[in-house]
Structure 1
């Protein structure tokens, strides 16, 4: 375990003005609080907080963060309290320790819904003080370095959580070195055979070709000397997980993988960066499509560097990153550079980003009410690399890799995204699902009245676009549901001789604890609430009439005790329609709708007519009614129509296609319904569906009664 004086020496290396006494007191306090506690490895527990503090000194962080690292488990695991920490070390440290404690208690690898909620809490903690996450990342890094002492199932859980959450978070914060180490440590747990195989192949490659890193480093230095550029050159082999991921993404074998070496050239000035680029491209051939200029177009976390891949010594592909010293410091520390110290004062690095602004850009436009949507969008943002595209006016738009013209449109303005009907890339019309590339000029084509399509959600990549599309779809659905609910309520109220009024609906809303009468109508339209339930709330005396279940045997009133009935196949009368019975020898009474054309043939036989009416109670959904529906010939439309019918509590008993065209289908669907109100509700819901061109009740008058 690092002793306190060694830890203070690490801090003094970058901050000679450190409060050594406060660090000593925090060290002694943490040691005392954790006395008698041990890690899974058998070591004293306090070795862990000290190791976390040492990791943070590598980022040259302030005293408050180092002290927080020493105390980060005290409130959770010992008799220490927030009040005591605040009194001894100040409110700033107490708040940070409390924040880390709350993060530790979040089960980020739990069930999806809980994980989404906890992920939001994690980002809320970040927005208050990003140093909480810096301590948590260092905590996770040390735990992963010492993970072998845990149970195998616990190792797997922590490794998955690290790979899914903490590694990409470190990368998104600009701490690429930490991301790579976390990924590789998790890879070692989750897929040890693959990692061992990569290492073995790499060792064999070095035996065959020798260690090429010093040779290529010497080549680059020689070019710098020849060009008169003062620069430092460093080379390294990429980590096993980085190599394995590239093999998986590109479906390449190890022998065909080229750029497994990376080199950095650190210069004094920005102008030198471009001189270095010119010298390297003059000496080696650049690989097409492998050039990125993050100096002129920096990442949101402050990352600046020029990336190029060239065919180096012996034709081996080599990735070269070119940056200034100040850029390199930010690239290594990422957002943490905001708190870094040099010579006892806060470093004034012009490339360090404001943490508050960074968190704001990461969580911009995420819907506050939907935890799952928030989780999806944050993960999209965390994993994304970037492409840079241009508007017709020359403005630069930053987008994640794989973004489409729709993402581009929403990045400009929500109104542009909602109205997008097409796009031109470099002057050529392209489909909206086209993946954009660096440097392309994008011209968005809009049209009045255009609305986002639900299929766009499967196309777009950015959280902003997904959130805007979902919001628009919700608003559109709500308008449709309110319209549908208004019509259903009108029919239901008229059925019992009442009239729908705003006052009546407001009364129902108050009873149901809903916002207003519009919300009542929206819920009726979406089938979350039935018009009959609203009637029962407003007029309890109608409850029996409205909800009494009527069996098929007593569905019709007016029959003699020895008479049975059946419905005519030609007109399929439903409860709620005016009906008449016609007696048939050996068939009992056949019920027709009063407007059935078949009755014209029986006008001269009044003796066969029986005056009947339906029972006024609630009927079971067993009465067949046939619909003719014309729908768009697109993938998934028929499934959505069947789902919609089911949502209206109607059963499909038969279906047949009667007309097939390239752009539409006509189908005959036999449904089982309760009554005319149920039929009207189903027809209205189908008419409101955008993929339904026509829908009507279908009566086959060629059928015999």
Structure 2
């Protein structure tokens, strides 16, 4: 039934909290306000008999959420969806009923916000992660979903006192770790600041109380000084005929606490700063005002930032400068236009009610859509919700570096981002084939951390591919997801190939082969083992989750032949040859560092695949107690890649000895990964070098060169 057929609600029967909402909606046409009041009527009826922990009628919560959105000036559909946002989850109201009365857009918004409590999950964390993932994907379709969710969280935080202590801590931690950073990423600084302070108060009540009291005391002592600085700034701007509004800024308890914690500063150091915001009428006036304040007080060198020319990733624009003030304390000044100020406070919500679908979005909205689009893309390639959340958290860094591409485009990346992160930010294909970077025309490795203002060019090679070590280098979610995606694909291909060779070898020992097993027998075995395809079984064997001998015995027995018990170590079958390129399913033991040329043995480790050990490794004695997990392997003639080895070097302790040995190792074309002193006294020292070599012959060459230096008394492969 269309909303227009319902008579307008009589204001005299509306509760005070609904009348307050109606007043806030004065910016909307009367017809849309009536639709909002109809939504209240439907919501109140649906939630009838339900109460909050505080004892208030449940409908007071969604109406309060709608009130927060009305303060942001949101459109009628968002306000209606906010009033009805809990109906699908907590009431009998159906999605089709919502869509028929209020339209498909409102139903989509409500569905996007609705949590997944009705689904079955392995754990609370898994449910929360999947719920959050769904919300983020709904955000990618319509930004208004997250605005409703943030407003919902803000009201829940304001009324958190009714919850028990463990629930308060859990919700507060989640707010600080996820929701406040999302508000910041979307440029909604006002909501972010309140979420942080409410979260801080709930999680650490004593710390919050102490810091709040100290802020109040400090402000009381400084009120006169702040008034004088504000008066001087206003007078100087007026004298230069620059209309401006000057406002003093006060740090919040959370920002003080987090800076004390991260920057190791005292409360006095952080509070010994005066903050002001100067709001002018145009971007050109911002730069003129900057000149005026620099003429009044001397600027501090290297403390100026231009976020107007290069906006932050969330669309934030402002000029930041630090001045030497008259009272011996620095003055932080932000200069911006009224429009920039609105976007800084409300972010993606700024001017929403006045923006048509065809009209241009503000800078925060455009950048948020770009970010959400990359999140949606990341979600497609990430199977685990928990892993997706981890990637999103990585992307919510508050500090960014701004970098230039060779074409002059600007990319914003999180603090501590590397050249490899930059490569993946340009394009996944660029990241996958990256080999090095030119940073400000200097050739540097991909692990290089980048700084704002650098010009970065990525050098690629068709043969280059991601490797597991890259996961330790990158910090962005996009790079991490792309690398994991490639490695999973590589691991699957390697595992299928290796599993095939292992099963063939086990069947050969029983006088059979995969080719002679009837398809019906194989299909029945796969069905009973809950595999859809043979590739899944082969991969499971290679990853150590199933023993090839047991699978072979079952297949042969099912075929009606006698099964033989035999272990991988005594099978007469040929050993499996490895080239070292099977890194997706092979790993090399750190206890003995096997090299091409060594006699080796494989051990099937559940979930990890085959761990390769040297045959003389002391741990092999223990491994042989599980013969079904031991795999006969040997090196192929054509071996690829570099392998880790350790050298124990006994030296005469004198200046320059370390540099001499390092030079000898480098001259042998080997890379040094790590050096540590094992023993040291005045006369002698024992060093442990971790190096990369191609094979045993290469290692012997390195050891020969080290012995020839004349500064060593012994060189041994470690462990012996």
Instruction: Provide TM-score, normalisation by structure 1.
Output: 0.75
Q: Deviations over 1:28-82 (max 9, x none)?
A: 4444444554433333433323322221111101112222333333444445444
Offset of 1:243 from its aligned partner?
Answer: 0.9
Out of 570, 575, 582, which is 2:570 matched to?
575
1:158-177 aligned at under 5 Å gives the runs 158-177=171-190
- Find the aligned partners of 1:156 and 1:300 in 2 and give their Cα distance: 30
Offset of 1:359 from its aligned partner?
Answer: 1.8
Query: Are 2:632 and 1:680 equivalent residues in the alignment?
Result: yes
RMSD: 4.2
Out of 109, 120, 145, which is 1:96 matched to?
109
Query: Are 2:643 and 1:691 equivalent residues in the alignment?
Result: yes
Q: Deviations over 1:553-591 (max 9, x none)?
A: xxxxxxxxxxxxxxxxxxxx953359xxxxxxxxxxxxx
Preserved CA contact (<8 Å) 1:221 1:233? yes
Q: Deviations over 1:1-27 (max 9, x none)?
A: 644444222211x33555232233333
- Find the aligned partners of 1:651 and 1:465 in 2 and give their Cα distance: 32
Change (3 A) 1:314 1:630: same
Corresponding residue SS for 2:80 = helix
Q: Deviations over 1:372-416 (max 9, x none)?
A: 321111111123432111234433222112111111122223333
Query: Are 2:399 and 1:385 equivalent residues in the alignment?
Result: yes
1:616 aligned residue = none
Preserved CA contact (<8 Å) 1:654 1:671? no
1:130-209 aligned at under 5 Å gives the runs 130-209=143-222
Preserved CA contact (<8 Å) 2:277 2:333? yes
- Find the aligned partners of 1:669 and 1:689 in 2 and give their Cα distance: 28
Out of 453, 467, 473, which is 1:453 matched to?
467
Query: Are 2:399 and 1:404 equivalent residues in the alignment?
Result: no
Preserved CA contact (<8 Å) 2:509 2:572? no
Out of 224, 227, 239, which is 1:214 matched to?
227
- Find the aligned partners of 1:109 and 1:152 in 2 and give their Cα distance: 24
Offset of 1:259 from its aligned partner?
Answer: 6.8
Change (3 A) 1:261 1:388: same
2:287 aligned residue = 274
- Find the aligned partners of 1:273 and 1:435 in 2 and give their Cα distance: 32
Offset of 1:504 from its aligned partner?
Answer: 7.1
Query: Structure 1 stretches of 5 or more lacking a match?
Result: 551-572, 579-626, 633-637, 657-666, 697-705
Corresponding residue SS for 2:465 = coil
Query: Are 2:582 and 1:630 equivalent residues in the alignment?
Result: no
- Find the aligned partners of 2:135 and 2:543 in 1 and give their Cα distance: 34
Corresponding residue SS for 2:246 = strand
1:240 aligned residue = 253
Q: Deviations over 1:444-484 (max 9, x none)?
A: 34455333232221221111111122123223333433443
Preserved CA contact (<8 Å) 2:245 2:278? yes
Corresponding residue SS for 2:192 = helix
- Find the aligned partners of 2:494 and 2:87 in 1 and give their Cα distance: 55
Offset of 1:115 from its aligned partner?
Answer: 3.2
Query: Are 2:74 and 1:61 equivalent residues in the alignment?
Result: yes
Query: Are 2:244 and 1:231 equivalent residues in the alignment?
Result: yes
Larger Rg: 1
Corresponding residue SS for 1:408 = helix
1:499-538 aligned at under 5 Å gives the runs 499-501=513-515, 508=522, 511-512=525-526, 514=531, 518-536=535-553, 538=555
More divergent stretch after superposition (528-537 vs 120-129): 528-537
Out of 363, 379, 386, which is 1:351 matched to?
363
Query: Are 2:267 and 1:254 equivalent residues in the alignment?
Result: yes
Aligned length: 607
Preserved CA contact (<8 Å) 1:243 1:260? no
More divergent stretch after superposition (63-72 vs 675-684): 675-684
Preserved CA contact (<8 Å) 1:652 1:670? no
More divergent stretch after superposition (51-60 vs 520-529): 520-529
Corresponding residue SS for 2:245 = strand
Query: Are 2:312 and 1:295 equivalent residues in the alignment?
Result: no
Change (3 A) 1:362 1:650: closer
2:435 aligned residue = 421
Corresponding residue SS for 2:508 = helix
Preserved CA contact (<8 Å) 2:140 2:372? yes
Offset of 1:144 from its aligned partner?
Answer: 1.2
Corresponding residue SS for 1:102 = coil
Offset of 1:352 from its aligned partner?
Answer: 5.2
- Find the aligned partners of 1:103 and 1:278 in 2 and give their Cα distance: 54
Offset of 1:174 from its aligned partner?
Answer: 1.5
1:439 aligned residue = 453
1:9 aligned residue = 23
- Find the aligned partners of 2:415 and 2:628 in 1 and give their Cα distance: 53
- Find the aligned partners of 1:39 and 1:681 in 2 and give their Cα distance: 65
2:137 aligned residue = 124
1:561 aligned residue = none
2:37 aligned residue = 24
Corresponding residue SS for 1:387 = strand
1:549-568 aligned at under 5 Å gives the runs none
2:383 aligned residue = 369
Preserved CA contact (<8 Å) 1:402 1:436? yes
1:395 aligned residue = 409
- Find the aligned partners of 1:376 and 1:646 in 2 and give their Cα distance: 22
Preserved CA contact (<8 Å) 2:504 2:513? yes
Offset of 1:677 from its aligned partner?
Answer: 10
Offset of 1:285 from its aligned partner?
Answer: 3.7
Q: Deviations over 1:473-501 (max 9, x none)?
A: 22333343344334323422332333454
Preserved CA contact (<8 Å) 1:18 1:63? no
Change (3 A) 1:349 1:453: closer
- Find the aligned partners of 1:502 and 1:399 in 2 and give their Cα distance: 56
Preserved CA contact (<8 Å) 1:574 1:674? no
- Find the aligned partners of 1:109 and 1:43 in 2 and give their Cα distance: 33
Query: Structure 2 stretches of 5 or more lacking a match?
Result: 1-14, 574-590, 645-693, 698-720
Change (3 A) 1:455 1:117: same
Offset of 1:679 from its aligned partner?
Answer: 4.2
2:278 aligned residue = 265
- Find the aligned partners of 1:233 and 1:524 in 2 and give their Cα distance: 70
- Find the aligned partners of 1:689 and 1:676 in 2 and give their Cα distance: 29
More divergent stretch after superposition (673-682 vs 124-133): 673-682
2:344 aligned residue = 331
Preserved CA contact (<8 Å) 2:419 2:450? yes
- Find the aligned partners of 2:524 and 2:290 in 1 and give their Cα distance: 70
